[in-house]
Structure 1
Amino acid sequence: MTQTHSAARSAAQKSAGAVAHLRPAFHIRPPRGYLNDPNGPIEVGDDVHLYFQSRPTLDMHVPVEWGHATSTDYVRWTLHRPAMAPQPGGPDSDGCWSGNTVLDDGRVRAFYSGNVEGHPYQSVLTAVSDDGGMTFGPARQVVPDPEQAIMFRDPFVWRENGSWWLAVGAGYADRGASIALYRSADLEHWTYDGPLAELPRGIAAGEDTGAAWECPQVLTIDGRRIAVVASWSPESGPAEVLSFDVDVPVAPQRVDHGTNFYAASALRDSRFGPLLFGWLTEGRDRPGWTDGWAGVLSLPRVVHLGPDGSLRSTPVPTVDTLREGPGSPANGASTGPRCEIVVPEASGQVVIHFSDQERVVVELAGDTLTIDRTEASLDQHAHGGRMQVTDAFDPTSNGPAARIFLDGSVLEVFTSAGRVLSTRVYPTAAPAWRIEAPAHAHYWPLTT
C-alpha cells in the first residue's frame, strides 16, 4: 500500500456500507436484515423457488427464518414473505437452519435443521408445503440425534435408483469429517446406511479439510457421485467449500477460489443441468454494517467436472439477458455499479478505477488469474488482499478467457476453464467508475 493511499484511507474513516452504490441488484438479497446460507432451490413448473436463511434485522439473537424468492429465468427474482419461521416451543423454536427441498407427489417437502438453544445438535426436520412452496406447515423430526458427534446438521435429500437418500453433515472426534447417509422408500421412515464419505482432518490441495462438514450436497455428474461440503471446525468456524468423488478415496478440491463463497446449495436437476448457489460473505468487519443489511447470494452456477475431477462452474446462461445494448470496448468505458466485462484472450489486465485512490485489478497471465483488491477501498472496515487460481484458462472451451461480473459490492469472475473467484469490494467513491482494459475486452452495463 502506498503512503498516499494509507493516508487517504486514514483520512476517510467512514463506512462504505451507508452508500447505495454498494447494494447488489441482480444478486438475491432482502432489502434489510441479515442473509446467509441459500437453501432448497427447486423448479416447480416454470418457476424456480430459492430459500435462504435470513433475519429481518442484523441482531444475531433473532431466530433464523427461511426467506423466499422466485424466478422464471434464474436472474430476475421476486422476493416473498418468509416461507418458514420458527415455531414457538417447537423443534425449530430458535431457528430454521439449512436444508433442501424435493417434490413429493406434487408437493414441495423441505428437510432442514431445527435449532433449539441448549440442545447439543440441530435436529433433522421435515415440513410440507401444500401451496406450491410458498409456505410450509409444522415440522417433525425424521432421524434421531446422534449420541456423540462434534457436529450434526444440514440435511440434503434426493431420489436415486428407486430410493430416497438423506445426507447429513457431521464430524466425529475419532473419525473426522463425515457425511451420514440414510435411506427411505417413502420420505417418512429412514434407515441409517452408514457414512457416505469420511476423512480425518488434514490438508488437501492446500486446504483445511475440516473437523466436520456442513451443508453436504450430492450431485451426479457424468455418472459420478460428487459431494460438495463446507469445511468447518469448532475453533475457527467456516473454512472453504470443497468437492470430491465419494466413490474413490476422498480427495477434496476447492470449489471457489475467491475469498467470500460459503455454504453451497445444489439443485441436482435444473433446466440447465446441475446448479450451485452460494452465500457471499461480507468481506467487511461488523462495524461497517451501517446501512441495515448484510449478506448476498451468488449467481447460480451450472457445474461440470474438469479433467482433474474438480468441480467447475459457468454462470447460468440467462445472465446474458441482463446486458444492455450490443456491448462496446471496455477500455476507457465509464460504468455504473453493475456491469459485465468480457476478456476474450488470457492476457492483460482489467482495472476498475473507483477513484484516483481506489481500484480493483483482475490480471490474466499465463495459466493464472489474479484478483487484487489491496487498494479497492478507503473504508477501514473493508477487507483487502489478493486471490489467485492456476489452470484458469481453456482455449478449447469456445468461451472467453474471463467474464467479470460487478454488482455493487459483489465481484464474481468466471474463467474459460470453469474456475470461479467470488469476492466483495467496498469503494467509498460513488460511480461513475472508469475501466482500463486490453483493447480486445468488451463491456456491457447490466440491468434488472
Structure 2
Amino acid sequence: MHDHHLPQFHVRLSRGYVNDPNGPVQFGGTTHLYFQSRSLADLSVPVEWGHATTDDLVHWTLHRPAMSPVPGGLDSGGCWSGNTVVDGDRVRAFYSGKVDDSPFQSILTAVSDEDGANFSRPVQVVTDPAPEEGVTMFRDPFVWRDGSRWHMVVGAAIPDGTAAMRLYGSADGSDWQYEGELSRLRRTVVDGVDTGEGWECPQLIAADGREVALVSSWSHAGGPGSVLAFPVDSAPVPRRVDDGHDFYAASVMREGSFGQVLFGWIMEGRDTAGWREAGWAGAISLPRRVWLDGDVLRTGPHPAVDGLRDGPARPADGATIGAQAEFVIPSVADSGTISLRFGAHERLDLTVDVAAGTLTLDRGSASSAPGVAADGVTVAQAFDDRSDWAARVFLDGSVVEVFTSAGRSITTRVYPTSPPPWRVEAPGGTVVWDIAPAIAAATDAGSRLALPVS
C-alpha cells in the first residue's frame, strides 16, 4: 500500500532503518554517501554501511550495503560511524567497529578498490583508551588530510562530565599517533542547550577561512542531544546547527566539485511502535552549504537542490499539492502563516513575523495519530534583508526542512493521517514547486532495496 509518510527525495530505505550519514566523498566524479543502515526496522539487527551515489547531489541511486560486520571480527557487533577519504585510486574508510563485549568501539580502517562499492576486511589503527585514562565513551573517527599529513579526531567522554575530541596524526593513514585533545568542554548549558557529557560524530569543516568543529552532544543517561558547532581556534562556545527536533549526527564532505557539503540524520518523530509498524525509519537530510556569522555556524540549502523542482512555480495560496513540494516565501512578504491543510482536523503552520524577525513552526495539530511528537519551535533573527527570499520549506512525506535567509534551519517530522492531496493557505507572493521522486535502486540492489513507494 502507498505510504505517504515515506520520503521520496531524501536518501532513505524503503524498508529498514537509517541513521548516521558517513563519508561522504567524491571519487571519480561520483559522490558516494554512506550511512548507518539495518535491513529491518529493528535495532537488534547489526549495523551495516548503506551506500548511495549521485552525480548532482539531489538524484540518488541506492546500492547494496558497502560494508557489513565480519562474524567474529573487529566489527562483529556492527559497522558504526566514521568517514571516508580518497587515497590515490581507492577509497579508505575509517569507522567504529562494535564488538558486543567491548567497552569501546575500536577505530578501524577498511579499503575499497572497487569504486567505493565494497570494502575490505578491517584492521584496527588506533589503540583503545587505557583503563587508567577513565574514558567512558570513545568512537566515531573523522579523518582529513592537510597536504601530506593525515589527521583524525575521535569523540570521547571523560568521567568528570567533560566532552572531548581526541586528536591523532599520521604520515600514511595507517600508523597513527595520539597528539592530545583538539578541544574539550566540561558539560554545561549554552542558550538553553546541553553541551553533552560526550561528543559523538566529531567533524571538521572550513568556513570563512576558519576550522569549525561540529559535534553531536550525547550523555550516558539521555543518549543523543543536538548537533553543535564552534570554531576550534578559540575556547568552545557550542551553538546549535539546527533548531528543529530531528537533526543529528552531521557529516561533512570537505572536498569536491560541490564545495564543502553538510548532511545530517533525520530522526523519527514517532514512537518505536509507529516506525516498526511502517517497516522503515530514518532519512538523510538535504545537502547544505555552511558559513560563519561571527562565531556561529549557519546553514542553508545547497544550490544543487534547485534541481529537485519539477515544472514551473505557482502561487501557493489556494494550491493543491502532493506529499513532495518546496515553498518559497519572498523577502518582501508581509507577516503571515503558511498553513498546510492535511485534512479537516490536521494542519502544519509556519508563521513569519517580519517585525519580530521570527519564524515559528507549529505542528500541534499536524497529526491525530498516537505516539507522534507535536512540540513546535520559534527561531529568532531569522531573516537577512540582503536575500530575495525569507524562507524555503521542503516537504517530503513526513520530513519537513525549513531554511531561513539568515541561515537558521528547522528539521522536523509530521505524520498526518490524511493522505494527499493537501491544500495550502499562504501569504501573498509565496510560491510552490512540485518535486518529483529522486531516489532509485541500482540494478545490483536486489530485493533488499525496492524502488520507492509511489
SS of the residue 2:85 aligns to: strand
Q: How does 1:151-230 map to 2 (within 5 A)?
A: 151-174=137-160, 176-230=162-216
Q: Does 1:231 align with 2:206?
A: no
Higher share of residues assigned strand = 2
**Counterpart in the other structure of 1:51:** 34
Instruction: Give the letter for the 2:250 counterpart.
Output: A
**Counterpart in the other structure of 1:7:** none
**Counterpart in the other structure of 1:8:** none
String of CA shifts for 1:94-146, please: whole Å, max 9, x gaps. Answer: 10000000011121000000000010000000000001101000100001000
**Counterpart in the other structure of 1:436:** 425
Please give the alpha-carbon distance, in whole angstroms, between the structure 2 residues aligned to 1:189 and 1:169.
Answer: 19
SS of the residue 1:326 aligns to: strand
String of CA shifts for 1:225-274, please: whole Å, max 9, x gaps. Answer: 10000000001111100000111011000000000000011111232321
Please give the alpha-carbon distance, in whole angstroms, between the structure 1 residues aligned to 2:161 and 2:236.
Answer: 14
**Counterpart in the other structure of 1:248:** 234
Q: Does 1:40 align with 2:18?
A: no
**Counterpart in the other structure of 2:279:** 292
**Counterpart in the other structure of 1:261:** 247
- Measured after TM superposition, the shift of residue 205 of structure 1 is 2.2
Please give the alpha-carbon distance, in whole angstroms, between the structure 1 residues aligned to 2:147 and 2:383.
Answer: 36
8 Å CA contact 2:19, 2:282 repeated in 1: yes
Match of 1:316 among 289, 297, 302: 302
8 Å CA contact 2:139, 2:155 repeated in 1: yes
- Measured after TM superposition, the shift of residue 174 of structure 1 is 3.1
Alignment size in residue pairs: 429
Please give the alpha-carbon distance, in whole angstroms, between the structure 2 residues aligned to 1:151 and 1:143.
Answer: 15
- Measured after TM superposition, the shift of residue 292 of structure 1 is 0.8
8 Å CA contact 1:175, 1:198 repeated in 2: no
Q: Does 1:133 align with 2:116?
A: yes
SS of the residue 2:278 aligns to: coil
String of CA shifts for 1:12-33, please: whole Å, max 9, x gaps. Answer: xxxxxx8511110000011101
- Measured after TM superposition, the shift of residue 385 of structure 1 is 1.2
Please say which of residues 333-342 and 283-292 is displaced more in the overlay. 283-292
List gaps (5 residues or longer) in structure 2: 438-454
Please say which of residues 337-346 and 374-383 is displaced more in the overlay. 337-346
The runs of at least 4 aligned residues of structure 1 exceeding 3 Å deviation read: none
Please say which of residues 415-424 and 266-275 is displaced more in the overlay. 266-275
Q: How does 1:60-75 map to 2 (within 5 A)?
A: 60-75=43-58
RMSD: 1.1
String of CA shifts for 1:392-417, please: whole Å, max 9, x gaps. Answer: 10011x34100000000000001100
Return the TM-score normalized by structure 2.
Answer: 0.93
Please give the alpha-carbon distance, in whole angstroms, between the structure 1 residues aligned to 2:120 and 2:177.
Answer: 24
- Measured after TM superposition, the shift of residue 354 of structure 1 is 0.2
Instruction: Give the letter for the 1:384 counterpart.
Output: A
SS of the residue 1:227 aligns to: strand
**Counterpart in the other structure of 1:406:** 395
**Counterpart in the other structure of 2:374:** 384
Please give the alpha-carbon distance, in whole angstroms, between the structure 1 residues aligned to 2:41 and 2:317.
Answer: 39
Please give the alpha-carbon distance, in whole angstroms, between the structure 2 residues aligned to 1:59 and 1:162.
Answer: 42
String of CA shifts for 1:17-75, please: whole Å, max 9, x gaps. Answer: x8511110000011101111000100012211000001001221111000000000111
Please give the alpha-carbon distance, in whole angstroms, between the structure 1 residues aligned to 2:173 and 2:278.
Answer: 43
**Counterpart in the other structure of 1:12:** none
**Counterpart in the other structure of 2:445:** none
Q: How does 1:103-122 map to 2 (within 5 A)?
A: 103-122=86-105
SS of the residue 2:4 aligns to: helix
8 Å CA contact 1:37, 1:264 repeated in 2: yes
Please give the alpha-carbon distance, in whole angstroms, between the structure 2 residues aligned to 1:255 and 1:19.
Answer: 34
- Measured after TM superposition, the shift of residue 194 of structure 1 is 0.5
Instruction: Give the letter for the 1:283 counterpart.
Output: G
Residues 77 and 248 of structure 1, relative CA distance in 2, 3 Å threshold: same
8 Å CA contact 1:23, 1:409 repeated in 2: yes
- Measured after TM superposition, the shift of residue 162 of structure 1 is 3.5
String of CA shifts for 1:155-185, please: whole Å, max 9, x gaps. Answer: 0000115311000000101360000000011
Match of 1:278 among 264, 268, 277: 264
Q: Does 1:348 align with 2:336?
A: yes
Please give the alpha-carbon distance, in whole angstroms, between the structure 2 residues aligned to 1:20 and 1:95.
Answer: 29
Instruction: Give the letter for the 1:367 counterpart.
Output: G
SS of the residue 1:331 aligns to: coil
Instruction: Give the letter for the 1:262 counterpart.
Output: Y
String of CA shifts for 1:351-373, please: whole Å, max 9, x gaps. Answer: 10001100000111121111100
**Counterpart in the other structure of 1:375:** 365
Return the TM-score normalized by structure 1.
Answer: 0.94
SS of the residue 1:226 aligns to: strand
Please give the alpha-carbon distance, in whole angstroms, between the structure 2 residues aligned to 1:208 and 1:28.
Answer: 29
Match of 2:107 among 124, 129, 152: 124
Instruction: Give the letter for the 1:72 counterpart.
Output: D
SS of the residue 1:20 aligns to: coil
Instruction: Give the letter for the 1:439 counterpart.
Output: G
8 Å CA contact 1:272, 1:302 repeated in 2: no
Match of 1:364 among 347, 352, 361: 352
Instruction: Give the letter for the 1:66 counterpart.
Output: W
Match of 1:94 among 77, 89, 95: 77
SS of the residue 1:340 aligns to: strand
List gaps (5 residues or longer) in structure 1: 1-17
